[in-house]
Each structure stands twice: as structure tokens, then as C-alpha cells.
Amino acid sequence: MRYFAAFVLALGLMPLSGKAQYVINDPDFLDKLQDAVPNAISGNVLDTLHPDVIALTVLDANGSYSIDGIRFFVNLEVLGLNYGYEDTLTDLPNTLRTIHLDFSETRIRYVDHWPDSLRELSIRNDWYWNPTAGLQSIDVIDTLPPYLEYLDLYGHYLDTLPALPSTLRHLDVQRNQAVTSLPALPNELRHMNVSQTDIPALPVLPDSLIYLSCGSNLHLALLGPLPAGLKELHVTTVVPLLPDLPALPPTLEVLEYGGATLGSTIPPLPSTLRELLLNNLANVTSIPALPAGLERLQANYMNNVPQLPPLPSSLIYLNTENTLFDCYPYVPSSVTEWKVSATTTCIPNLPPNLNAASNADDFPICNLINTPDCPTTEGVTGHVFRDDNANGTRDPGEPPFPLAQVIGTPGTHLAGADNDGRYMLALDTGAFVVDGTNVLYYNHTTAPYAITISTPLQVDSLIDIGYAPIPGTTDVRVDLASNLARPGFPHTVWCTLTHQGTSPTDATLELTYEPTFTYTSASTVPASIVGNTLSWSFTNLLPGSSVQVQVHLYVPANTPIGTPGLHAAAATIPGSDPTPADNAAQLPFVVFGSYDPNDKLVDPPTMDVPELLAGTPLTYTIRFQNTGTFLAERVVITDTLPPGLVQDSLHFIGSSHSCSWYLDDGVLNIVFEDIMLPDSTSDEPGSHGYAKFRIAPETGLLPGETVTNIANIYFDFNEPVITPPSVFAVEVQTAVEGKDAGELWLAPNPVDDLLQLRLAYSVEDADVRVLDAAGRMIYQATMNGPALTLDTDGWHAGVYAVQVRTTTDLWTAHVVKR
């Protein structure tokens, strides 16, 4: 039994000696009263005149079946009836200002009246989670109190709403999916939630509105204009018919937007925005600039947005765990929580104060190797082009101009373009001037660019640099490179012809290869083959262009290790050439046995002091081979230039394949994008490549000092192949003058273990001595024949003079021991 039998009159009210007694029949309500007014309860009888009853303003009657007797609480202002079973409300005190009837277990079928004093009415439920609960119809709310300010009707089966009082400030009808329209909205309304309804178009929104939620609506197709004072806008989850959002008000602080399949753009964000929560916007391809005060950013399932805009230094929370961006901007140190998608390859940086909810520290930091397309340093990008009409603009059809280099000042910032003219110049934060280097026979057509890099990883694009030719000049240059020659193996020679002039020209290129080798093929079929001389004819060679021929030779298996060889190339043109010295090139070499195909050479390996003071440059050649089992799509070379080299004198000569390069904090980065380098098993001749540059040594180097350098070669995302060191040494003058050292070959140079000595002819009982940098003899032997092998084990690293003396001749050469 839910109700006690009562020893009362039919009215249940018994006035006794100044008291008015009323029997409370619902034990749950009685429990609440015993908590609220214990001194006014005796058994199940309420003293209705007790001062505590008269004075009570707040009553929690949650879970009650009946609140019969509530009328005696004549000063009651707040009444809680949540999770109750009452289906009839009568005699509510006229002093009530707040009633909560949330999640009632039975439907309220009758209310005799809502007190005029009522300001807040909440009748929340949820038909989805509790379908048998007390879901309201319009009946009990068809007439609302005249001064109501707050109305919450969340989660019912309502299909219409009553007229709204003019005083209403808060309206929540979320999850009433049958509601298709709204009554006129009061001018005082500040908060409105109509999400998960079926309203196709919102009415005119009052200027007073500061909060609006209208998402999860399959038919919403019209929203806006938005009130000028709106602070929060939530349009999310599913809004398939909604086009782009209207213009956002200048006061907006929170924007939640998602689930729109028609919308393709996000309007500009106001400067007041603190939170931006984006989710599942299938057609959106970019996010607008973020305001400086933004604190929270969520961008989930934004899979057509390639990257985020720059993040403000005010940001605290970043959630991108379900979006795979191509690149991230720099994440400011203010961020304390960052959730990253599990499929992210790398992140730009790691903020120092991330909390335990973050997962960003599970990912590697992006670098040139693991992220081909994302910025890993600050800088500028653009094209270097030949400005044929000299208008200072890169017009369609104007070709790239790879002869130029790009320079940033102050500091040492250099870059070179690939075959398409694209370059990337690494800078730091600060102000710079970016321009192209001077090129003989060409004028600049673009003014220097004033660039300010204000944020980490900022990259300014479209910085194009133009050159206009001064007509009438033809000037060609020849360059040679090769992989190492090994007995019984193929040997590739790259012969490059570059037109440095300004007028088209015909040209003939000849290569005379080592006569003991055998010609097998060439990437361009020779026009003629006479003995060991190959020739090609090129017509209409355009200014700034290059042609490269790969010549494939075979080294006879019986070739002795240490045998010297020579390739030579020369070009001729019909007209005069202002710089004929670079129309020919020679490539001396020595035949090796087993070797690492990835190496770095320096030429010359030694230099005397007069040559050093004259500014004689060093030429470095980095050679590589894909010895893996599959083609390499990308090759990256990093070369940290050591002390002893003048960094701003660096000049890139050429390469086997198209590449771009840049110098960043003393590190030369050479990038072969889309090189598609075959593996050595599939295509041994095609598996090789090289890069070549020139740089001056410091003139202050002392005799005996060395400059040691290595390169790191990355094939795709594999660990680097580190080349053996290349060592340049300043020669120590010996007291005895001898024959031309060119007649004495030392290989390899630098040397690690065994050193091959070879003369142009045989000698008998020749005295061989090795002198250290101080002139002390550390080794002596006798040489008979044209060659001798020395074991350098036990030699200290440094430069040594090697002398070969007969009764009539003296040869001297220098070698570097690593």
C-alpha cells in the first residue's frame, strides 16, 4: 500500500489548539518533508501553521507519487519534482518561481493552473532512453505563465509549441523531433536550443539572442541572418540540407559546426572567437584564418582539408584525432592538450607542457626525410624563371632558369631550383631580403623581396625570381662525372652540356673515354663512334638549358686494381664562346676493387698555400647507388658543411637527376623528388646517381690542417647511408723539388688502409718514403715496377707526403689518411 489509512475527516484537516494538521499520504513526499521541516511533522501529520512550513522557500520533492499538501507552503519559491510519479498538479503555491519536473516516470495529465509567479519551468525527459516515461503533450503547457523566463521541454513528443511569453529568455525544445515550426520568438530571448527537431527554417531571430543550437535536423535549410550579439552558435551532427553558414556576428565566442553535406566554406571567423569545434564537413576544403584569442580548436573528420591554418599563441586545446592532415603548422607552446590522429606520420613540434590526455608525444617530429611535402623550417618558395618579355612576371609558357641561385640576406641562405624552376629557400624568423644571384649575360627583372618571417615554420610562397637574357651570346659548359670503375662491372659516365648564353645555338659534344674500357650503350645514341671517341650533335640548344648523356661502359675483368684512367669531353659551337676554358672537362680516376658505391669525393684532395690564398675552389661529388631490392622514389642527401669551408661561396654544379637544394644552418640539403631510382639488381647502370657542388676553403687554413666531410644519403624513408669521410688537406711544403706529381698516382685518396702507388712507367730499386706534416719519415720501402701497395695501418689521421726517388728522378704527391 502506497497510502496510509487516515484518522481524519473527509477533508483531512484537523485544527487542534492553534494548530492545523494535515495527513501526508505519500510516504516518499513525507520523507522529503521530514528532511525539510522536521519540526512540523509528527508521524505522518503536517502542522500546516508551523513557522517552518510558512517560511520554507525551497523544497526537494523528487521521486514523490503525490504532493498533496503542497498548498500549505505559502512562501515556497523552488519546487523539485524530478523522477516523480505525480500525474496531477493542483493547488500550486502562487509564490512559486521555479518548478523542475525532469524525467518524470508518469505523464502529467492535468495542471489546474501554473502560478503567475513562475519564472522557470523545466520538464525534461528523453523518449529515446526512456520511451515509457512521462512524455508530455501540448495539453499541460498550452497556456504558459505570463512572466515565464526559462522553459525547458527537452526530449518529448511535442509537435507544436504554445505561444511564448514576452518575458521568456531561455527556450530548450531539443529532441522534440515532431516539432516543425516555432511560434514568434520574444524580444527578450537570449538562449535557444532547437536541435534535433524538424524545423526547416528558423524564424527571425531576436537581437537579444546570445546562444543558438540548431543541429541534428534533417530538414533545416534556412538559417540566418544571425543576431549581431550572438556569442555561441552550435550547428552540428547532421544538417544535410543546410548550405553555407551565414556571416558570423562580430561578438561570437563559440562556434560548433559539423555534419553539413551541402556547405563547402566556413565564413571568416570573428576576432572574439574562443572555441572552434569542427566535425565532419565533407565539402569543406580549407579553414579560415584563426583569430588571435582562440583557445580551443577541434577539427575531426575534416578529411578534405589538407592542413590547418597557422595556430595562434593563445591556443590551449587542440583535437585532430580523427583527421589526417597533410601537414600541421607549428603548434604553440601554450597548448597543454593535443590529441592527434593515429595515422599521422609526424608532427611539426612537441609543445613542452602537454597533459596526460594528450597523445602527441607518440609521434616523431617532422623532418626533410620523413615528410616530403611539409615545411620543416621557415622559408620562402617559388620559381626561378627566364623572363622572356622582361615584364617581371612569370607568365604562362616562360621556362625555368636553373642557372641562378636564390639568396637570402642577412646570413648565409642559399637555394637552387630543380628542372621545373621550383626552389625552397630556408630562413629563420626575422626580416630578410630575398633575391637571385647575379648570372652572366642576364638581368634581374624582379625586384628583391622584403620578407618577414614572424612564426616558426612559416613559409611564404609565390616568390618568383625572373631573369631576362641580354641577346647575342652563346656560351656552353661541359661537366663530367662517373661512378667508380671496378674490374668486370659496368661503369657509367655522365656527360652534361649546359648552355649558359642567351641565344640558341647548335653544339657538338665529344666524349673520349678510357681506351681500355668497352662502350656498351648511351642514353642518347651517338651520331658517330670513332675508336673510343663518341660524338653527339645538338640543334637549337636553348639558353639556360642542359642536355645530359649517360654513357655506359664496361671495365675489363683483368684490369689491375689501382690502374689510372681518364675520360675527357669537349664541346664546340658554330660561333665564338666568351669562356672557352669550360668547354672541355677531364675526369681522371683509378680502378678500384670492392668498394662502397655511396661516397663523397673532393677535388683536389690537397692544395698548397699559394693555391689556397688564390681562392681555388674545391669540387665535391657525392655519389650514390640504390643497392636495395626496389626502386627508390625519393633520395635526400644532407651534408653538414664543416669549419674550414666558406659557406656563402657554395655553387651547385649539377646532378644526375633533377633535384632542388638549399643551405639551412650550415647543412646542405639536396632533394631528388620522384627520382624513381632503380635498384641495382633490376638495372645496375641506372641505379647510380650523383650531385656535385663547388665551394671555397677558408684562406686561413694552415699547412697540415684538414677539412673532413661526410654526407648522409637517404633512400625513401630508410636509415641513412653515411659516406666515408672525404678529407681535404693543406699541403706541407717538402724541401726537395721533384717531378710533376701528376705522374705519381695515389689511390684511394683519402686512404683508410691499403694505399696504391702507381707511376706511368716501371722503376727499379726506387726509394719510397712517407713524410708526416712535420717532415719526419714514418715509412720507407723499395719499389720495383710501376706500382706498390702500402699498408697505412698505424698512421695517424692527417696529410702525408709520398716520395718516390730513383738515381735520376724524384716524384712527390700527397695523401690524406683518415
- pLDDT band for 704, please (50, 70, 90 cuts): confident
CA distance 655 to 298: 45
Q: Is the pLDDT of residue 53 over 50?
A: yes
Helices (H) and strands (E) in the chain, counts: 3, 55
How do residues 337-385 score in pLDDT, each as one tens digit?
999 998 898 999 999 999 999 999 999 999 999 888 888 899 999 999 9
- pLDDT band for 16, please (50, 70, 90 cuts): very low
Q: Where are the beta strands (DSSP E) in 454-596?
A: 459-460, 465-469, 476-482, 490-499, 505-512, 518-522, 528-530, 533-541, 546-554, 564-572, 584-590
- Per the CB < 8 A criterion, the answer to whether 335 and 356 are in contact is no
* Domains of the chain, CATH where assigned: 378-469 (2.60.40.10), 476-590 (2.60.40.1510), 599-729 (2.60.40.740), 733-817 (2.60.40.3080)
Task: Supply the pTM of this predicted model.
Answer: 0.75
Q: Is the pLDDT of residue 136 over 80?
A: no
pLDDT of residue 587: 94
Structure-block grid coordinates of residue 228: 549581431
- Per the CB < 8 A criterion, the answer to whether 202 and 221 are in contact is no
pLDDT of residue 735: 47
Residue 225: cis peptide before it, omega within 30 degrees of 0: yes
pLDDT of residue 6: 36
- Per the CB < 8 A criterion, the answer to whether 315 and 309 are in contact is no
Residue 377: other Cβ atoms inside 10 A: 21
Pairing, β 754-771 against β 798-805: antiparallel
Cα angle 412-413-414, degrees, rounded to a multiple of 5: 115
Q: Is the pLDDT of residue 609 over 60?
A: yes
pLDDT of residue 4: 36
Q: In terms of pLDDT, which residue wins out, 91 or 375?
A: 91
Q: How many CA atoms lie within 13 A of 302 on its CB side?
A: 26
Q: In terms of pLDDT, which residue wins out, 263 or 553?
A: 553
Q: Is the pLDDT of residue 37 over 80?
A: yes
Average pLDDT, the chain: 91
CA distance 499 to 438: 16
